[in-house]
Amino acid sequence: MKRINADNMVKFYALMLLYERNHHGYELIKSIGEKMEKNVSPGQIYPFLKKLKAGGMIAGGKEGPRERTVYRLTPAGRKFVKETLIRLSEMIRIAVRKDISVCHHCGCEVYSGGYREKGKVFCCKSCASACGR
Ligand SMILES: [Zn+2]
Do 90 and 110 lie in one domain? The reply is no
Give me ligand 1 centre to Cα 93, in Å: 20
Residue 126 placed within a domain: yes
DSSP 8-state secondary structure symbol assigned to residue 24: E
Residue 2 placed within a domain: no
Rounded Cα distance between 80 and 71, Å, is 15
Residue 80 placed within a domain: yes
Give me ligand 1 centre to Cα 14, in Å: 39
Range of the domain at 69: 9-96
Q: Which residues contact 94 (CB under 8 A, 6 or more apart)?
A: none
Let me know the angle formed at the C-alpha of 72 by 68 and 74, rounded to the nearest 5 degrees. 145
Give me ligand 1 centre to Cα 108, in Å: 6
Whole-structure pTM over 0.75, yes or no?
A: no
Give me ligand 1 centre to Cα 115, in Å: 9
Residue type, 86: I
| pLDDT tens, residue by residue, 28-70 | 999 999 998 999 999 999 999 999 999 999 998 887 778 889 9
Looking at the 3D structure of the chain, how many domains does it have? 2
Do 80 and 43 lie in one domain? The reply is yes
| pLDDT tens, residue by residue, 71-90 | 999 999 999 999 988 988 88
